[in-house]
Structure 1
Amino acid sequence: MENWVPNQETQIDDEDVFVDNTQVEGTSQATNPKKRKYAQRAACWNDYDVLHIDKVRHSKCKKCGTLLKTESSANVQNQTTLNFKKNENGENSIGTWKHDEKRIKKALLNLFVVGELPFKFVENESFIEYTNALNGKVILPCRTTISNRVTDYFLEEKAKLFKFFNNPLSNVYLTTDC
């Protein structure tokens, strides 16, 4: 029988289960005089509480509550990387991206039209630096090119509105406040 006495002890549910949140520095007297107890240096221990159930060391995840048998930090590190929970939204966080010059220019034009920015803003040093930081492949047009493209953008949007209003299923309701 081992007589293990922690510095801090928290009772959980059972008399045989307690949490040890102390960090041991250097060497100290351990339960087994042959083994030296070292500080927990692995970053994975920030996410786990150390538990002793029937004098066997376990770790409980602070986020999901998973209980692991741990004699070393290798098991915790492996399980942490293996047991990632799936994204509940069903969206992937990693994806591919394709450089599409046409899409970028349309988004830039939309930024100037919807944001009501002056066309000379495209030649601002900070804006150029910001755009290059996002994607170094983008070649920004000059302000005269943007002003010429605004008329094309207007005609495209006008054609979309005519198409929408000529549809017999579309209704427009006007309300006024008197």
Structure 2
Amino acid sequence: MDPANEVANRDVPISESAEHSTSTLPPLPTTSSERKNRSIVWEHFKRTPDDESKAQCQHCLKVIKCGNGTSAMRSHLKICISNPGSDRGKRQKTGTSPSPEAQVGRFDAEYAREKLISMFVREELPFRFVESQGFKEYSAALQPGFNTLSCFTLARDILVLHETKKVQLQKYFSKYGGRVCLTTDNWSSCQNMAYMCLTAHFIDVDWKLQKKILNFCQVTGHTGEIMAQNVEACLNSWKLNKILSLTVDNASSNDDGLKEIDDSVAKIRDAVKYVRSSNSRLTRFKACIAQENIPHKTLVCLDVETRWNSTYLMLVAALRHQKAFELLEMQDKKFVEELNKGRGVPLFQDWDYAKSVLPFLEMFYDATLRISGSSYVTSNLYMKEVFALGRRIQ
């Protein structure tokens, strides 16, 4: 019998033959769409809408290339300081330092760059400092493989860090946030540009008092309407609606009780401004202090006109040096000429007016220091201080 016919005449079940034939076939190749986002790292990344070859970290918002695989994303997750599962994230959360064995590892340029950015933010260094020759030589001595940044790159990275921290704080407010107390700080620069800073104060889950700056911006003025508009815009951008209180600082729109003696205070302020305007004038004023044998080592200080508590400090220092100002008036003709262009030299009655208002201002100054403390809770002190002031000024 023909071997071929013998094989063909064998009694083999059709189903068994079919099963054997299909099991030996190689698996069908998966398409790119089926393979996309299969890795576990995609739980931490999302593809950028404008470029599918890049993905953005959901922890620190950094964009990583992913066109050739997920290895770059895996490496980033291990060192991402905002990822709670990474070694750096754990150290930042627990506040512990790396072990000596970890410190001896290979140089990590990305980690060094993050620490460089953090240093400039914490120490408030000018961005140009990163391009100075001394800083470059120092960095090269520590690690020749580290490439220093330009001031523009540093500024861009700090903005990215700001957005990252803002997202983290927004998540905290939405998840754990209770009522938040807000304070505003307003001032004008030497270029007469108005600024406002909005700060949030709250108790965290560990019952610790926290203080976070929400906004620092230039404003068109310090009126109540402008301040309200800027505060509202800031809260809307933060999506923050659980507000307990809003405390504003001293401003020109507030009644400060000094209008009755405004001319006397203005004359003393002009005298202080004169002696503080140049080194030669300050030297002549120090000579008058020495001739009058005034024991105080501190000199006069110029106040901020919209802050009555700083005006109180200016008046205290000026009254200590009243005799020195009177002697300067007799010895320095330019002092008299300069002040006569305005309100004139302070007279005896001006010094008496300032002296009479000091006890009144001192009460408010001391109460303000106690109520405005930032390292301890002050809400329980507020009513006590207010009633105490009310009894003393009656």
Give the TM interval when normalised to the shorter protein.
0.3 to 0.5
Tell me which structure has the larger Cα radius of gyration.
2
Report which structure shows greater RCO (CA 8 Å, sep ≥6): 1
Q: Indicate the structure with greater helix content.
A: 2
Using structure 1 for the length normalisation, give the TM-score: 0.43
